[in-house]
Every structure is written in structure tokens, then in C-alpha cells.
Amino acid sequence: MTRSEAQVREGIERARRARPRLRDEHITMAHGAGGKASATLVDALFRPAFANPVLDRLTDAAVLPGGLALTTDAYVVKPLRFPGGSIGTLAVHGTVNDLAVSGARPLGLSAAFVLEEGLAVETLRAEVEAAARAAEDAGVAIVTGDTKVVERGKADGMYVVTSGIGRVELSGLDPAGLRPGDRVLCSGYVGDHGTAIMLARGDLDLEADVASDTRSLWPFASALGAAAGDGLRVMRDATRGGVATVLNELAMASDVGVVVHESAVPVRPVVHGACELLGLDPLYVANEGVLVAVVAPEVADAALAALGDLPGGEHAAVIGEVAAEPPGMVLVRTGIGGHRILDLLIGDPLPRIC
Amino acid sequence: MTRSEAQVREGIERARRARPRLRDEHITMAHGAGGKASATLVDALFRPAFANPVLDRLTDAAVLPGGLALTTDAYVVKPLRFPGGSIGTLAVHGTVNDLAVSGARPLGLSAAFVLEEGLAVETLRAEVEAAARAAEDAGVAIVTGDTKVVERGKADGMYVVTSGIGRVELSGLDPAGLRPGDRVLCSGYVGDHGTAIMLARGDLDLEADVASDTRSLWPFASALGAAAGDGLRVMRDATRGGVATVLNELAMASDVGVVVHESAVPVRPVVHGACELLGLDPLYVANEGVLVAVVAPEVADAALAALGDLPGGEHAAVIGEVAAEPPGMVLVRTGIGGHRILDLLIGDPLPRIC
């Protein structure tokens, strides 16, 4: 996996030439995977049609004049329940987290359910109650909702879509605001959620004790804001496409390079092992409770300490830094001193993960 | 259909004893139809779990402290395109209308797409562009979104969920605020949307020129607020379950009776004919551009004139009035002077209508 400097530069040029253009005539699973195909679909189809200054910022939540944040996420996770969580908890945390990483305190959530005819009412009840508990834990109420029913076979039990509004408390966050020397922080173990789903599906003939990390990230976001102040450049929720996708989006938005120290990335041994077996890189695996933050170098220690003091932040780490070169790209410095390019994901190794 | 006074009273008592209790073990299409089964599901399952003072008001949009309104709706209409509109236009208008009838000017929308693997990209593009046009016409931007993909067969091309935030401009609206003597207004022809969908499906061996009435109701809501002032009790968007369901919900919330004059309800002859053939009452058929308002008697003329002056409001009418008796029930006064009970819908005569 280690390449020479020349090979890396050639790869960079190749990747540049391959920037988004929608050639597909039909939707594939990859368009929902959060990687290159998803980005192309958004850039080539949604952005031109919905063009407006708020959408164009393409942050996790849209921030409207007056400091109101709005976000939405559809949840189609399979199976509905898995170690550490379920579609109901995920649907609350995911939307709370999109607000949180936008610096917005959640004010209220909506929940829309598309139910499959024949779904057991007890299964629905379990998810409604799971969502209610998750919302209560996150300190936010589900204030409105909708329910639709489709015929047998036309959904997998249920799909859930939540939206959230929040009040921006941490301003000045900007995905285009990264500067060389900035540090990249990660709030905890990487890859737990995707691995837990994979194991719950039985795709892997492996018994391992991995639970989803699904949790509200607002406590992390709020603590980082207090600890890093103006030195907090941006925060992201490393869901579909994982930490690698987040860092690629930030590198492109800021036109800077990001260098990740592979040995500094916190990964549980069992997650590492499962990913090896599947030929996956944990940096691409979805998380539901991992916050990635970029901070100015002078506040990095304080920011790391703030994360480490919170439940779930015990394994927070500085995993890399921002560099001037190569602009728009993410490199991983491997344990043996080489580099490899961490590009946007192509294809969909783990469909229906959230 | 005409009954004696005694029969009506007996029916009322029977209906009272049958108030919501969730006995079903599995979800049926009726749970998504907006009638009695939907109401039971909400009352027995969602409300207890999500219990909070905002949700408990059960208005079309939730109004948070500070006058912010939040609403969400899932769209699973089949077919995706039909005369007068498509899932993209519906998804914008439906959510704008939930804000509008809550007296809230729309500030921003979110749109989440659940796409079926294999969907033609051109079909998606058409709906994204239709949604964009509808949003522009309604004077609101789609500021954030999400896309997920599910395997072939796991959705009907696409499901769309939109949410909207708005700023409440018309305050004091209250579904529990109806008083005997108030007038019930309806902004236009009833039953067009559901009939157009039914015809587009080819369920009926009938060629008829009926188009969906899908439109933004904010101009109606805003004009009513100006014309009726404090005399405007409440507004509703008569979608799933139609005008009958709206009136039942209001009668129950206010513990008053509502009397509808059948001959005053505006229904196109072709819609009347199609409904006769299917054994449906146009009062139960879904609309996507019909506003129902209850106003104080002294402002009824001004309110009707305000609706009539707007494009799409040419057939607005006073269709009934509020009475002290029978509390919680809706009666229809038929052309020949009799009464029938207009109860909440049981079952789902028109599935996947929005």
C-alpha cells in the first residue's frame, strides 16, 4: 500500500481529472453510500436544481438568516436492531449530530415513518420508544411527525426520516477555513458502527463483541466550542464514508492537504480485525458517534482534553494535521513511513448502514 | 343515506363508544390512510411515547417557543407523476401547506429522498426540478437534503420526505377554539387530487380530464388572516381523509358539532361522477390545494371574498357551520333535508394518495 512520492503525485493528478460528472443513467447502491457517486449526484443534480446560497455551503445542517439551523436525514439501516442501537436511536442521534457539528443546540425534531404493510405493531412500538428515549437523553423533543404505509415488500419494515431545527451557538465554523498547521481531532474509536451492523447482518462468519457507537455529539461540540473558542475551525460527524470522506470534503473545501497519522487513529482491535477480513479500511467505515474537528494548533491540547473529559471521549486523539500540499487531497502516513492517498470512496462496500 | 333523528343519535352513541384503542398486531394500509386507524395509531402509540406539550397540540405544524413552526410529511404517492403534478411538487406544497395553515410563513425546506436502485436518473432529475420549481413558486428555498438508496423492489422508484420551518405570523389559531355559530369555509373544489391519482392509476375504466389541485396555500392563509383578523379560529389543509377528516378532528378538539350543507360543497361534476362509480364520498377524498377555515360569523363574508379574489379561490364557499350539538360529531344536511353522520374514515379506499 506504500507508494513513492512520484506515484503519489501521479495519483493526485489522476484523481483531479476524475472530478464529478454524472454519467450514470440509473441509480445504484453507490449513490447512497456517501462516497464519490453520492457526491457526484449531489453536485450534478441536486445542487444545480436547488441552487441557493444556504444550500451551496453544503454543511451538515443549513444555517438560515437569524442563526436557525435545519437538517434532515433518511434512515434505511438493515437490520432494524443491532448491538448498541436501532433505527429509532440512530434516527434521533444522526439528526441531533448534524445540528451539533454545525454548532447548533437542538431545539426540536420531527420524525416521519414509512411503514411496510404487515410490520408488527410491537416492532414499531419498540422503535418509537427507542427514538423517544434517545431524544430525551439528548435533551430535545420530537414535536411533530407523519406516518405513511406502503404495501408488503415496498419497504424493509420501516424507513425513518428525521429533521431537526437548532439555534446556532458556535458561530464562525467553516469547512473552507482550514489552515496549514491546524490539527485534526477525532472524538473516539473509529469504525464501530459499521462493523456492528456488518456483524449483525451475519455477512461475516465471525462472533465479536462490537456495539454501535450511536450517541448525541452535542456535549462534545459544546465542550469543544468552550475549550477551543475561535480556534475551532470546523466539526463534522463521520457517518457514511467515515473519517476519510469527512477529511476529503474538508480538504477540497479549504483547498489544503490533510495528513493522517495512521498509528494515531483509535481503532478497536476487533474492528481492525473484522475490517482486515473484509478488505475494508476502518477510516471509510461509518460511525454514528464520532466527531471530527479541526482546530488551530495552539488550542489542540485544550480541545483534546475537553473531549477526553466527556463520557465516550476517553479515546479521543489528534489524528493528523493540515498541510499546504497537496491541495484538496488527504494522505495517510503509514506506520513504516510511507504515504498513501485516502481518496473519496468509490462504490458501496457497506450498503444500508444508516 | 338519510336517517331519522333517533337513528342519528344512536349512531353518535355507537361512534363514541368506539373511540381509539389499538387492537391491531400488524400495520395495515389503513394505518396510513389518515382516517380512524391512523388516528388510533397516533393516539395509542406515538403520542404516549413522544409526549410533550408541543406535540400534544397535534396541529399540522408544531409551534415551538419563539413562534417557530416545524412540520414534516412523507410522500409515497403512486404513480410518481399524474395530471397536474408529481411527487416533487406534492412534497413541496404539502409541507408548505402544513406551515401555512398553522399561520406560519415558510422560511426553508429540507428534502430527503429514499431512492430505489435502478431508478432512471432522468426520473429523479425531473422530480428534483419539479420540487425546485414548486419551491420557487412558493417563495421558499430547499436548503438541505439527504439521499439514501435501497435495493430493487424496496421502494416504488422514490419516496420523498420534506420538512419545513416557518415563522408564525398569524397567532391565536386553535383547533379547540370553535364556537357555535362559526362558519366553515372551503377554498375550492373538493376531491380533485384523489380523483386525478385514481384516474392516473387506471383503476377506473374512465377517461376524464381531472388534474390534481396541488398548490401552495400560503396566499390563502395570509389573505384570510388579513380579512378575518381575530375572527379566524383555525385553518386546515384537507389532505388524506379529505374535508370530512379535518372537520371531525376540529369537532372533537372543540367538543362542538359541525353541520355541513352538502349542496354548498363545491365538487366538479366529473369528480362527483368518478366518486359515485367508486362508491366514495368526495368529502373523504384527498386534496392538495384545499384550505378549510373556521371563522366567526361576523367576518365570514369578508373571509369568503378574500379567498374568492385569489387565483384558485374562485369556487370558495361557506360549506357549513358550527353547532353546540352533537359535541365531537360532524353531520351532513343532505339536499332532501335529512342528516347523515360524517364519521372518521375506516379502512383505506385510496391508498398511496400522497
| Distance between CA atoms of residues A193 and A212, nearest Å | 4
Instruction: End-to-end CA distance of chain A: give it in Å, rounded.
Output: 29
Whether residues A144 and B26 touch (CB distance < 8 A) is answered with: no
Report yes or no: A318 at the B interface, CB cutoff 8 Å: no
- Non-local CB neighbours of A163 within 8 Å, separated by 6+ positions: A70, A71, A72, A73, A95, A109, A110, B70, B72, B110, B112, B161, B163
Which residues of A are less than 8 Å from B125 in CB distance?
A: 45, 49
Domains of chain B, first to last:
62-169 (3.30.1330.10), 183-341 (3.90.650.10)
Whether residues A161 and B72 touch (CB distance < 8 A) is answered with: yes
CB atoms within 10 A of CB A346: 12
Chain A nearest-CA distance from B160, in A, is 9
Report yes or no: A345 at the B interface, CB cutoff 8 Å: no
Whole-number average pLDDT of chain A: 91
pLDDT for B2 equals 46
Determine contact, residues A67/A171, Cβ cutoff 8 Å.
yes
The pairing of strands A158-168 and A104-116 is: antiparallel
Q: In what order do the strands lie in the sheet with B317-323?
A: B232-237, B291-295, B183-186, B317-323, B257-261, B330-333, B339-341
Chain B nearest-CA distance from A316, in A, is 28
pLDDT of A20 above 60? no
Tell which of A59, A95, A97, A110 to mutate to test the B interface (max B CBs under 10 Å).
Answer: A110
- The grid cell for B2 is 338519510
> If you compute the radius of gyration of chain B from its CA atoms, what whole number of angstroms results?
20
Residue B170 Cα distances to B47, B104, B105, angstroms: 26, 7, 9
Whether residues A124 and B165 touch (CB distance < 8 A) is answered with: no
Q: For residues A36 and A5, which has the higher predicted lDDT (pLDDT)? A: A36
pLDDT of A8 above 80? no
* Cβ within 8 Å of B, A 197-216: none
pLDDT for B347 equals 75
- Non-local CB neighbours of A269 within 8 Å, separated by 6+ positions: none
pLDDT of A43 above 70? yes
pLDDT for B1 equals 38
Backbone angles phi, psi at B337, to 5 degrees: 95, 0
- Of A127, A218, A113, give the one whose Cα is nearest residue A170: A218
Q: Crossing angle for the helix pair A192-201 and A269-278, nearest 10 degrees?
A: 60
| Distance between CA atoms of residues B160 and B127, nearest Å | 10
- Give the rounded distance of the alpha carbon of B183 from its chain centre: 19
Residue type, A153: G
Which residues of B are less than 8 Å from A112 in CB distance?
A: 72-74, 161, 163
| HEC-encoded secondary structure of chain A | CCECHHHHHHHHHHHHHCCCCCCCCECCHHHHCCCHHHHHHHHHHHHHHHCCCCHHHCCCCEEECCCEEEEEEEECCCCCEECCEEHHHHHHHHHHHHHHCCCEEEEEEEEEEEEECCCEHHHHHHHHHHHHHHHHHCCCCEEEEEEEEECCCCCCCEEEEEEEEEEECCCCCCCCCCCCCCEEEECCCCCHHHHHHHHHHCCCCCCCCCCCCCCCCHHHHHHHHHHHHHHEEEEEECCCCHHHHHHHHHHHHHCCEEEEEHHHCCCCHHHHHHHHHHCCCHHHCCCCCCEEEEECHHHHHHHHHHHHCCCCCCCCEEEEEEECCCCCCEEEECCCCCEEECCCCCCCCCCCCC
| Distance between CA atoms of residues A322 and A296, nearest Å | 10
Residue A154 Cα distances to A350, B129, B152, angstroms: 21, 25, 10
Residue B135 Cα distances to A91, B106, B113, B278, angstroms: 26, 10, 16, 34
Q: Residue B340: left if φ>0, alpha if ψ -120 to 50, beta else—which one?
A: beta
* Cβ within 8 Å of B, A 121-150: 121-122, 124-125, 128-129, 131-132, 135, 141-150
- Of B231, B253, B240, give the one whose Cα is nearest residue B185: B231
A79-98 per-position pLDDT tens digit = 999 999 999 999 999 999 99
Instruction: End-to-end CA distance of chain B: give it in Å, rounded.
Output: 29
pLDDT for A88 equals 98
A242-269 per-position pLDDT tens digit = 999 999 999 999 999 999 999 999 999 9
pLDDT for A2 equals 46
Work out how many CB contacts closer than 8 A connect A with B.
265
| Distance between CA atoms of residues A47 and A64, nearest Å | 17
pLDDT of A113 above 90? yes
- Give the rounded distance of the alpha carbon of B282 from its chain centre: 13
Whether residues B64 and A155 touch (CB distance < 8 A) is answered with: no
Whether residues A27 and B116 touch (CB distance < 8 A) is answered with: yes
CA-based nearest residue in chain B for residue A71: B144
Whether residues A132 and B49 touch (CB distance < 8 A) is answered with: yes
| Distance between CA atoms of residues B247 and B343, nearest Å | 9
- Of A191, A221, A199, A206, give the one whose Cα is nearest residue A288: A191
Q: Please report which helix (H) or strand (E) contains residue B37, including its range.
A: helix B36-41
Determine contact, residues B93/B126, Cβ cutoff 8 Å.
no
Q: Which band of pLDDT confidence, cut at 50, 70 and 90, is reported for residue A57?
A: low
| Distance between CA atoms of residues A141 and A254, nearest Å | 35
pLDDT for A170 equals 95
Q: Which band of pLDDT confidence, cut at 50, 70 and 90, is reported for residue A350?
A: confident
Q: Which residue has the cell 453536485?
A: A43
- Of B106, B255, B236, B234, give the one whose Cα is nearest residue B173: B234
Nearest to A31 among B70, B110, B115 (CB): B115
Prediction pTM value: 0.92
pLDDT for A13 equals 59
Whether residues B143 and A32 touch (CB distance < 8 A) is answered with: no
CB atoms within 10 A of CB B335: 9
Which residues of A are less than 8 Å from B61 in CB distance?
A: 144
Percent of chain A whose pLDDT exceeds 70: 93
Q: For residues A301 and A199, which has the higher predicted lDDT (pLDDT)? A: A301
| Distance between CA atoms of residues A288 and A90, nearest Å | 7
A147-171 per-position pLDDT tens digit = 999 999 999 999 999 999 999 999 8
Report yes or no: B52 at the A interface, CB cutoff 8 Å: yes
Whether residues B71 and A144 touch (CB distance < 8 A) is answered with: yes
> If you compute the radius of gyration of chain A from its CA atoms, what whole number of angstroms results?
20
What is the arithmetic mean of pLDDT over A31-56? 85
What is the arithmetic mean of pLDDT over A5-13? 61
Nearest to A72 among B145, B149, B154 (CB): B145
Nearest to B132 among A50, A118, A141 (CB): A50
Backbone angles phi, psi at B185, to 5 degrees: -110, 155
Given CA atoms A86, A169, B72, B139 in this order, what sign does their dihedral have? negative
pLDDT of A236 above 50? yes
ipTM score assigned to the predicted complex: 0.91
Whether residues B150 and A131 touch (CB distance < 8 A) is answered with: no
pLDDT for A12 equals 56
| β-sheet bridge partners, residue A108 | A165
Residues of chain B where predicted confidence (pLDDT) is lower than 50: 1-2, 19
pLDDT for B8 equals 60
